[in-house]
Chains A and B, each alone.
Chain A
Amino acid sequence: MKYIDWIDEFEKNLLSLSEEERAKAKCYYGEMYADMRDGGLSEEQAVAEFGAPYDAAKKILEEGVFGAQSGGGKIATFESNGPCDELDFNCSLCSINVEFYDGDSVKIDYPFLSPTVCEVTQSGGKITVRNNKKVKWKSFKALFGDEKMEYGISVKLPKDLTPDCRINLSAGKMTLGKGSYGKIEAQTDGGAFTARGITCGDIICATDAGALELKDITCHRLHAEVNAGRLTAEDLCGSVADIALNAGSADVKRADARRVNVKVSAGSAKLELCGGQSNYDVEVTKTLAKCDLKATNGGRERLLKADVAFGALTVNFL
């Protein structure tokens, strides 16, 4: 391995450290490398003396001697500086739990040791949480087995905040706890996204293969899209509810919205809609689907538009 490749890989494993500490560690190895070369070692010999970049980084992280960003163990704590109006999560193979508390700042406990080397940064009012996308599948068991809490990311928000949340999760598990948010956008490629007891502006969530669980949601617009996987929802209240199912299943109970758009390309969807059937205008487009829904004119107080290509749609009016 070339030295430049070694140091590059080494730095990638130190993402949880501040830029300054990373620079210091790189500087140390840079000086050591230069001294070894002066001492007559070849590039390959010098790099071989360093060992694997991951192991070298791990030794540094395990020491926990880096003050502000580390907690002296495997979990580090980030504390926000100034107001926060946006949270951006870009993570894979980890569990993230968001809840509100009585404190004044955003507090995030996160793992800073592999396999889930994580970095938390703040730029103005935006806090970004991202972890090492190179997490190997074999680490999954460690994450969701007995040690899951050790590797989880815990986010605590002050009660007076209503931040926008943008979530991009490749596998893993994310839970948004009870409280008020601005706009929520969640995209999961596998894994699970759960939101309970939420009041927010818009909530837009999609999963490619995974689970969306929405419970007790009050919002302006809800958009839930399942390309494969499962949507379970209860007690939804809003102006507009869009539900799109490309495959998989959707089970929505007690949805109360003035306008409901449901599109089933394939799979099975079951909806319970509040407001009384007589108050709904119903527009239905069917192709080869199993759907007993009939078009009706209910006076335009509420509108249900259903577009069902294949699969099945069942609607019960409450």
Chain B
Amino acid sequence: MDVQIKKGVLDACVLYALSGGESYGYKIISDLKGIIDISESTLYPILKRLEGAGALKTYAGEFKGRLRRYYALTDEGSRRLEAYRRDFNDIIGIYEKIFGGKK
């Protein structure tokens, strides 16, 4: 898959995984299994990028006596997810026109 397209898809997937509420790294990967394979090493830069862009906010919470970092969507994150949904709809429309029923 083209790197830029893949980047967009991965960002959209992570935003989608957080659209149901706050989550943490391992759970995000688990929730996305069956949708897209995303490794621990791939997820971290995406979280950093989205956080840097203001799409995510993070905080540390206690879990079993240790700290765990939680991630949650910001308004900017929700807006981005909605923008991805519209873009992907457009892409699907283009795909249908170009390839029709062909796979």
Residues of A within 8 A of B (CB): 25, 27-29, 31-32, 34-36, 38-39, 49-51, 55-56, 59-60, 62-63, 65-67
Q: How many Å from the CB of B62 to the closest CB on chain A? A: 12
Residues of B within 8 A of A (CB): 24-27, 30, 39-42, 44-45, 47-49, 52, 64, 66-69
What 3 pairs between A and B have smallest CB-CB spacing?
A35-B26, A63-B45, A56-B41
CB-CB under 8 A for A34 and B66, given A49-B39, A51-B39: yes
Interface of A: prevailing SS: helix
A62 proximity list for chain B (CB < 8 A) = 45
Are A28 and B69 interface neighbours, CB within 8 A?
yes
Are A31 and B49 interface neighbours, CB within 8 A?
no
A92 to B68, CA, bound (A): 39
Are B40 and A31 interface neighbours, CB within 8 A?
no
Are A65 and B26 interface neighbours, CB within 8 A?
no
How many pairs of A and B residues are in contact by the CB < 8 Å rule?
58
Are B40 and A29 interface neighbours, CB within 8 A?
yes
Q: How many Å from the CB of B48 to the closest CB on chain A? A: 5
Interface centre among A28, A32, A34 (most CB of B within 10 A): A32
Are B49 and A65 interface neighbours, CB within 8 A?
yes
B25 proximity list for chain A (CB < 8 A) = 28, 31-32, 35
Return the chain A residue nearest B48 by Cβ.
A65
Q: Which of A27, A55, A65 contacts B69 (CB 8 A)?
A: A27
B68 proximity list for chain A (CB < 8 A) = 31, 34-35
CB-CB under 8 A for A32 and B40, given A63-B48, A63-B49: yes
Q: How many Å from the CB of B72 to the closest CB on chain A? A: 16
Interface of B: prevailing SS: helix
Enumerate 8 A-B pairs (CB-CB under 8 Å) in ascending A order: A28-B69, A31-B25, A39-B26, A49-B40, A59-B45, A60-B41, A60-B45, A60-B48
A65 to B53, CA, bound (A): 10
Q: How many Å from the CB of B27 to the closest CB on chain A? A: 8
A49 to B25, CA, bound (A): 14
CB-CB under 8 A for A28 and B44, given A34-B66, A39-B26, A65-B49: yes
A39 to B66, CA, bound (A): 15
Are B40 and A65 interface neighbours, CB within 8 A?
no
B67 proximity list for chain A (CB < 8 A) = 31
Return the chain A residue nearest B39 by Cβ.
A51
A51 to B39, CA, bound (A): 9
Are B52 and A65 interface neighbours, CB within 8 A?
yes
Return the chain B residue nearest A39 by Cβ.
B26
Q: How many Å from the CB of A38 to the closest CB on chain B? A: 7
B45 proximity list for chain A (CB < 8 A) = 59-60, 62-63, 65
A31 to B47, CA, bound (A): 14
Q: How many Å from the CB of A287 to the closest CB on chain B? A: 63
Are B48 and A59 interface neighbours, CB within 8 A?
no
Return the chain B residue nearest A28 by Cβ.
B44
B48 proximity list for chain A (CB < 8 A) = 60, 63, 65-66
